[in-house]
Amino acid sequence: MFYTLNVHSTRREEMIDITSDVVRVITKSDVKNGMCHLYVPHTTAGITINEDADPSVKADIIDRLRKLVPYGENYRHLEGNADAHIKSTLVGISLFVFIENGRLMLGRWQGIFFCEFDGPRNREVYVKILKEG
């Protein structure tokens, strides 16, 4: 089963919690046991799993990525968003999460985040639900 989530970012860099959207897709799929594959088809965005209880974690991640890969440096890429391409590569563009008994197997404090590095934009996340057996 294949689904597309639409994500709208409002800032140049942000981490958007899409966990509830992914849960809705799994519920709709009616898959009880299997795998959820999430894929971001963009070169200046990413996806990750991290803590969703404390918003300062998201801010710390974005701040550290800004320090590691600053915007506006002397990059060769002429569009002015080379930092976003590098951040996407560092974070990654896909992940898998197990589904057991109809539930995402995330840890107590974990959430799924779409990572925007070149917004604001309208983006997509592809979701593929694989049924066990």
* Domain ranges, ordered by start, for the chain: 2-131
What was the pLDDT predicted at 78?
A: 86
What does CATH list as the number for 2-131? 2.60.120.460
For the purposes of burial, counting CB atoms within 10 Å of the CB of 44, is it exposed (0-12), middle (13-18) or buried (19 or more)? buried
- Tell me: the pLDDT tens digits for 41-94? 999 999 999 999 999 999 999 999 999 999 988 899 989 999 999 999 999 999
Please give the mean pLDDT across all residues of the chain. 97
Please state, in angstroms and rounded to a whole number, the distance separating the CA atoms of residues 124 and 41.
7
Please state, in angstroms and rounded to a whole number, the distance separating the CA atoms of residues 131 and 41.
23
Q: Which residue matches tokens 């995402």?
A: 104
DSSP-derived letter for residue 117 is S
Compute φ and ψ for 21, nearest 5 degrees: -65, -40
- How many Cα atoms occupy the beta-carbon half-sphere of 1 within 13 Å? 16
